[in-house]
Structure 1
């Protein structure tokens, strides 16, 4: 029943529960409320990630082992501001909470996480969640920061207003979590049926939500915390229209300079260990076809990719620090001005930014963009962003052909400058393509960009460690599965027919057949084979080249970098990295585009467009460098 003030009175009834009946708990909260941090703390590493059936929204599920309740399952729902949105995230959350998601059990209880630093706005999500009538515990996260900055709220009054228990916690510090244990244990005990009458806003009415949240905030004496003096000073500088973008570019240059300065020696040392291990294994096996298969075919191919693991982890360490500190959200706000100039929604920046890790989850992240044309445009340009799979080929070619000379004293080296230029090249290609799409086949009106800036905070070692573990696991798994299979296949094709030379083998003849097409780019037939195998995954080309050059007697005694310098010119080497900056060399990305767009038309258009652009750009790069050298 609703009244003239835009509220309705509902009765929340707690039915008698059978001991142990609770089996599944849903974790709900807005983005940046610390929900994922809490999920990781409650489950530890006992979690799995998959997709909900029929949609691309990720499903995070784990056991509540972190609070001693391994018998309970915790489902981490997508970060949402409302259950009434048309986004795919909100639809999934609604289906799960109503028990209508196939393959996912209906939750028996809800943990609602709200950021206490922005409680007045975040309370708007409480209304639709409470209207479900499920046993709910409201968790005011980051309460330690709120109180330290002069904020306050009467939790007892808030619990009476909402009709459910409320607890202050800090997910990052792990404090206050005993309230969760108490709540779940109490809900598992038989209790008499009690009812609480509370007033909720009219469902689906955003204005009614705001009025309701504001009223509760006032009656519970909520006092928003003051932004620290340092936060205000930093935002005045980092969000400045001129200084902000310049600082962001300086940060990017600094990150890559450190990655090469520190990461290159680490990769060299790791590579020496891998090569030494391969030599020792070869001595134990003896000189025969088994040794050739395992060492020349498998070990050297996989090791040539794994050698870049230290640099990739170092890069993601810096990205994690920037993200967890709250700086990347400021970068998104700065980039929104540029995004609007090309017609993209400001929300597109987050998927494009996450594509620096991998295009697959980045394309999934476009589900938060409600306008279909904006979403498709973002999907089509996301693979231009330089993902981690491109780093091995970039680092290999830069280390082999670019001298480590200083450009600006010790602050910036030539290698870091080239690497940043490649990142910038991909970003500019994405912007240019987006402009082309939005002015032609994907025209759409602009939508508002809403972003709540998180507080600046110190990244935790636990969060950074979990991030690096996850990225390292994904990278080594790729090397241990896809690349391993490709390397074994390459070894056989490079030795058939047996007792023939590498150019006379099956793979050699295939390479020579396609060589006339790629010769203008400065590539030889071995590079051509690498281009073919890298369609599976970009980083496969490094393993392919390691296997082919290791199997060739003319270059077997040389390291991979020396072998490449033996066969390629500077123009060909730079043309290769430019080719990979543009080309769509990833079947996983094509598959996810097909599923997101529900059509093969878009991935086919994407693959063709990026391939033609890559070929023309590589051709121009090789010819320009040859012109200046000669």
Structure 2
């Protein structure tokens, strides 16, 4: 255990390697990692607890740490020993946690991290004298470089012999901590590193209320420009590969229905979503770099001023920033917030942040709206519109939070403290670990939820197949007839009036219906729609799709107003079963997920209608 950002996870990963598993404590959605380290021929089970500054729990996250230590969590057995990880550059901060842990009377040892940074900055510490002052073994480690890990393994080998407290150390509860900390630091020869002139100079810009905000928006703007430009070649390769696989399967499977299932539902459906894997991977690479360098904490501090206008603070920004990857970990990140009202306001707002599940839909729609060579100066309009979609999601989240905090969740906030980590150059290993887990989760989602939804939609779009009615038709005409008269087609026609003001036809409505299982399903559904037309180039076929009936019959479906309406609908609508389930677990009620779903649908419908109206007025469409 240790304070946040003390280096626990890096050490844990080095000790356990690929044997580590991540999950939630039974009954609560607070994540802990557990793994085994092979020590002297025996397996030692290690649990990496959430970061905490003390055992005086002020948040649900810290409460779980305390409950785990005291053996009050169901399914969690008694632990044997405590390994306290302490950041040498901020040693004073860790001393209170150590005092609380050692007071429990369990065998305890200390691992000192960031010692290289301490000494590089002109500071120093004598680990042997620190061990003497604390009365427990102390090992130095630079986990991300692997230095000192063997010494920690050797220390773990004799965990049962670690000392226990004979006399409880002074704690804040008895008003003596300060003097005890000063004594320990003096005995160990501790000297804090000198203020880094470079860091202070950079922070003067990045934390400036004007220049800092400008830099933040510039970083985010370049962030999304990069996602579009760098990932495009890899996306093209994957698209070509799956198109070839689908064609190969269709030519070699003799039974038409089976051939259509394999090429359209399996290969086409999965490939239609996996084609966006390069953008997803690049998104997480860039987020990982910004986090590892130390910029995200600066951004949270900077945005605390902005968040104040919504009635929240920088802790909520951290949760919302996490939601840019996925709303599920973003919602779970609210457990570090002590105020229950702030937690609920953030939980209900976080799904409006643009998550990676929206990215495939945005990329598809923006590519149809704007040519890839459309530029202003050195920048592309596609990346700019993507950036604006993320801005739209952020503004919507802040607005909803403000309304909630001004009405049903009114009351003041608690003080906000935030540690500014030093700037660090991330290692490739760190980035790879940070990227692998979410990329694998996305791939697994494609192979489970999205695949199941795609197969179900294929069946709904293929049956009933009235062969008598299609006699004499050519293949594209027959496929289009089957699609329109299928179960999915009939459902699409039934709900078509709901979205007619936005310009959505029954085929788009079928895609929206599937997207409520997972947003990415919209992409695979649209792929199956054009596959029914035997289109060789899906993107071109979607752009050329026309209305089959009504006053706009023969006109293009994916006009600028319709695409704008779709972008706004996906920005605001609740289209994720996993997010709803996480909301239910975090709030312990179906009330808040139901409120979020209803409110976001109304917001999405009204917003998408307004978007269509405005674009029609601007373009004269």
Q: Which residue pairs with 1:225 in the alignment? A: 193
The residue matched to 1:305 in structure 2 has which SS?
helix
Q: What's the offset of the Cα at 1:604?
A: 0.9
CA distance in 2 between counterparts of 1:147 and 1:108 reads 33
Native 8 Å contact 1:347 1:369 kept in 2: yes
Worse overlay, 243-252 or 45-54: 45-54
Query: Which residue does the alignment assign to 1:528?
Result: 509
Instruction: Give deviations 1:115-137, integer Å, cap 9, x for gaps.
Output: 11111122121111111122222
Which of residues 77, 97, 100 in structure 2 aligns to 1:125?
Answer: 97
How many angstroms apart in 2 are the aligned matches of 1:405 and 1:509?
39
SS in 2 for 1:111: strand
Could you give the per-residue CA deviations for residues 521-569 of structure 1, whole angstroms, max 9, x where no partner exists? 1211111111111111111111121122212x3x534414532442311
Equivalent position SS for 1:526: helix
3-state DSSP class of the match of 1:59? strand
The structure-2 alpha-carbon separation of the partners of 1:220 and 1:35, relative to structure 1 and needing over 3 Å to count, comes to same
Structure 1 gap segments, 5+ residues each: 1-27
Moved more, 492-501 or 371-380: 492-501
Deviates more, 1:311-320 or 1:90-99: 90-99
Q: How far did residue 488 of structure 1 move?
A: 1.2
1:407 Cα shift?
4.5
- Shift in Å at residue 194 of structure 1? 7.7
Answer whether contact 1:394 1:419 (CA < 8 A) is retained.
yes
3-state secondary structure, aligned to 1:200: coil
CA distance in 1, matches of 2:601, 2:210: 36
Match of 1:537 among 502, 510, 518: 518
Contact 2:102 2:168 in 1 (8 A): no
User: SS of the counterpart of 2:157?
Assistant: helix
Give the corresponding residue for 2:598: 608
Q: 1:195 to 1:110 in 2, by over 3 A?
A: closer
Distance between the aligned counterparts of 1:92 and 1:76, measured in 2? Answer: 12
Please tell me whether residue 445 in structure 1 is matched to residue 412 in structure 2.
yes
The residue number in structure 1 matching 2:71 is 99
Conserved in 1, the CA contact under 8 Å of 2:96 and 2:172? no
> Contact 2:297 / 2:420 at 8 angstroms: preserved in 1?
yes
Name the SS of the counterpart of 1:356 in structure 2: coil
Give the match's secondary structure for 2:45. Answer: strand
Match of 1:562 among 529, 541, 548: 541
Instruction: Judge conservation of contact 2:80–2:107 (CA < 8 Å) in 1.
Output: yes
Alignment equivalent of 2:170, drawn from 193, 201, 206: 201
Alignment partner, residue 244 of structure 1: 212
* Match in the other structure for 2:477: none
Partner of 1:278: 246
Query: CA contact under 8 A between 1:163 and 1:197: conserved in structure 2?
Result: no
CA-to-aligned-CA distance 1:166-195 (integer Å, 9 cap, x gap): 11111111111122222222345xx6x987
Contact 1:140 1:166 in 2 (8 A): yes
The alpha-carbon deviation at position 99 of structure 1 amounts to: 2.7
> 1:484: Cα distance to partner?
0.9
SS at match of 2:425: coil
How many residues align structurally? 595
Cα displacement string for residues 133-161 of structure 1 (whole angstroms, at most 9, x for unaligned residues): 22222011011111111111122221122
Give the aligned partner of residue 87 of structure 1.
Answer: 59
**Helix, strand or coil: the match of 1:172?**
helix
1:373 aligns with 2:315: no
Cα distance in 2 for residues equivalent to 1:140 and 1:69: 26
What is the rounded CA distance, in whole Å, between the counterparts of 1:493 and 1:210 in structure 2? 69
For normalisation by structure 1, the TM-score amounts to 0.91
Q: How does 1:15-414 map to 2 (within 5 A)?
A: 28-65=1-38, 71-187=43-159, 197-198=166-167, 200-202=169-171, 204=173, 208-286=176-254, 288-405=256-373, 407-410=375-378, 412-414=379-381
Aligned 8 A contact 1:366 1:379 in 2: yes
Residue 346 of structure 1: CA displacement?
2.4
| CA apart distance, 1:417 | 0.9
- 2:156 and 2:64 map into 1 onto residues whose CA distance is 24
Deviation track 1:327-351 (CA, whole Å, cap 9, x = no partner) reads: 1110000000111122113211111
Matched position secondary structure for 1:75: strand
1:592 is paired with a residue of what secondary structure? helix
Does the 8 Å contact 1:401/1:565 carry over to 2? Answer: no
Alpha-carbon distance change, 595 to 557 in structure 1, aligned in 2, over 3 angstroms: same
Q: Is the 8 A contact 1:406 1:413 kept in 2?
A: yes
TM-superposed CA distance for 1:283, in Å, is 2.6
Aligned with residue 546 of structure 1, among 519, 527, 538: 527
Once residues 40 and 210 of structure 2 are traced to their aligned partners in structure 1, the CA distance between those partners, rounded to angstroms, is 51
In structure 2, relative to structure 1, the CA distance for the partners of 1:187 and 1:370 (3 Å cut) is: closer
Distance 2:41 2:324 in 1: 37
On the 8 A contact 1:63/1:70 being kept in 2, the answer is no
Residue 418 of structure 1 is aligned with which of 358, 363, 385? 385
2:561–2:611 contact (8 Å) kept in structure 1: yes
Distance in 2 separating the partners of 1:577 and 1:145 = 46
Decide which of 450, 465, 470 is 2:432's aligned counterpart: 465
The separation in 2 between residues aligned to 1:208 and 1:329, in whole angstroms, is 31
Matched-pair contact (CA < 8 Å) for 2:327–2:579? yes
Cα contact 1:374–1:444 (8 A) shared by 2: no
Worse overlay, 449-458 or 42-51? 42-51
Question: Which residue number in structure 1 is paired with residue 563 of structure 2?
Answer: 573
Give the aligned partner of residue 398 of structure 2: 431
Partner SS, residue 143 of structure 2: coil
1:8 maps to none
- Whether the 8 Å contact between 2:106 and 2:164 is mirrored in structure 1 is no
Which residue pairs with 2:484 in the alignment?
A: 503
Structure 1 residues 409, 158: CA separation in 2 closer, same or farther (over 3 Å shift)? same
What 5-or-longer segments of structure 2 have no aligned partner? Answer: 468-481, 546-556
CA distance in 2, matches of 1:517, 1:367: 38
Equivalent position of 1:598 in the other structure: 588
Contact kept in structure 1, 2:322 and 2:330, CA below 8 Å: yes
Name the SS for the 2:358 alignment partner: helix
Closer, same or farther in 2 for the Cα pair 1:565/1:202, shift >3 Å?
same
Match of 1:514 in 2: 495
